[in-house]
């Protein structure tokens, strides 16, 4: 009961923050929440374009901000490359979380190495083991996390707010770039000479695991190359459930 009430209080607070930060700059949002949550907030970077923008901003705001990424074991070599470049450029510690090898071995033994192409259930299991469970470990002890979500990215993300209650992880989710356009992201990257994944120049606007990401055609949705064999409303990995699954305020 106490926990429920506490959650309701947080949701009320979030409503006030949404009003306060609806027109704020990403830096203002980051500054506020880093200060507010201290060591109990972490930035989850997938090393994509938006996340590189946030890393750049964080490096200027606080050297102590926690940044982590998930290595699923199926990443593109180019993604590992951008991780190395980022560590070198900013001198930041980026925590890398891996899946539990026992879970991966069991899944591959039972369903095959490329199980994800055969059903949504298989794909979700793979994302659960390689992404969701490591994310839970990374978020242990956090009261909030920071993401690079933008409204324009997908039909599943059109209602993203600057700050939300993350029902799935039961913590606050902060999305400083929620209202940015793709152009704003790239203008910022170029202006500040931020390292980015070389695949972005080869038609990959959104980059996940190698077997589940392909280049998109000009004019296609930015996430059309992710799990392209599935329906658009299924194309989330469980880290950021779409509106139907996630009870946002
Ligand atoms: S994106 Fe593909 S390879 Fe990566 S965890 Fe999900 S299903 Fe597995």
Q: Hey, where are the domains in the chain?
A: 2-197
Selection from 150, 176, 159 nearest residue 33 by Cα: 176
Q: What is the mean pLDDT of residues 13-38?
A: 96
β-pairing verdict for 144-146 and 163-166: unpaired
Residue nearest atom 5 of ligand 1, based on CA coordinates = 127
Which distant-in-sequence residues (6+ apart) come within 8 Å of 108 by Cβ? 115
Q: Is the CB of 238 inside a 6 Å radius of any atom of ligand 1?
A: no
Q: Which active-site residues does the annotation give? A: 237
CB of 125 shorter than 6 A to ligand 1: no
What pLDDT band is residue 176 in, cutting at 50, 70 and 90?
A: very high
Of 71, 63, 202, 65, the C-alpha closest to 146 is 65
Over pLDDT 70: what percentage of the chain? 90
- Per 3-state DSSP, the chain is made up of helix, strand and coil in percentages (nearest 5) of 50, 10, 40
Question: Does any ligand 1 atom lie closer than 6 A to the CB of residue 130?
Answer: yes
Choose between 233 and 32: higher pLDDT: 32
Relative orientation angle of helices 26-37 and 49-61, to the nearest 10 degrees: 60
Say whether pLDDT at 28 is over 90. yes
Tokens 């306060």 -> residue: 20
Indicate the range of 12-21, 200-209, 216-225 predicted with least confidence: 216-225
The lowest-confidence range among 31-40, 128-137, 139-148, 230-239 is 230-239
Query: Residue 26 above 60 pLDDT?
Result: yes
- The residue contributing the CA closest to ligand 1 atom 4 is 209
Tokens of 102: 């026992």
Q: What is the DSSP string of 29-45?
A: HHHHHHHHHGGGEEEE-
> What kind and span of H or E run contains 144?
strand 144-146
- 2-197 fold: Rossmann fold (3.40.50)
Mean pLDDT throughout 169-176?
95
φ and ψ at 5, to 5 degrees? -60, -40
Contact predicate 46/207, CB 8 Å:
yes
């Amino acid at each position: 009961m106490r926990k429920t009430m506490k959650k309701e209080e947080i949701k009320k607070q979030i409503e006030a923050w949404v009003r306060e930060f609806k027109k704020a700059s990403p830096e203002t949002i980051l500054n506020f929440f880093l200060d507010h949550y201290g060591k109990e907030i972490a930035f989850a970077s997938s090393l994509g374009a938006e996340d590189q923008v946030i890393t750049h901003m964080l490096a200027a705001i606080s050297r102590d901000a926690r940044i982590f990424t998930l290595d699923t074991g199926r990443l593109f070599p180019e993604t590992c490359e951008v991780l190395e470049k980022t560590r070198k450029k900013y001198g930041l510690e980026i925590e890398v979380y891996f899946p539990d090898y026992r879970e991966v071995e069991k899944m591959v033994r039972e369903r095959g190495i490329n199980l994800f192409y055969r059903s949504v259930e298989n794909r979700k299991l793979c994302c659960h083991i390689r992404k969701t469970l490591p994310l839970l470990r990374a978020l242990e002890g956090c009261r909030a996390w920071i993401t690079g979500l933008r409204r324009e990215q997908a039909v599943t993300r059109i209602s993203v707010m600057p700050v939300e209650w993350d029902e799935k992880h039961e913590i606050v989710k902060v999305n400083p770039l929620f209202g940015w356009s793709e152009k704003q992201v790239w203008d910022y990257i170029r202006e500040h000479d931020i390292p980015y994944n070389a695949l972005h120049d080869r038609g990959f606007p959104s980059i996940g695991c190698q077997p589940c990401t392909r280049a998109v055609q000009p004019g296609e949705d930015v996430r059309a190359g992710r799990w392209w064999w599935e329906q658009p409303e299924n194309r989330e990995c469980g880290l950021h459930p779409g509106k139907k699954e996630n009870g946002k305020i």
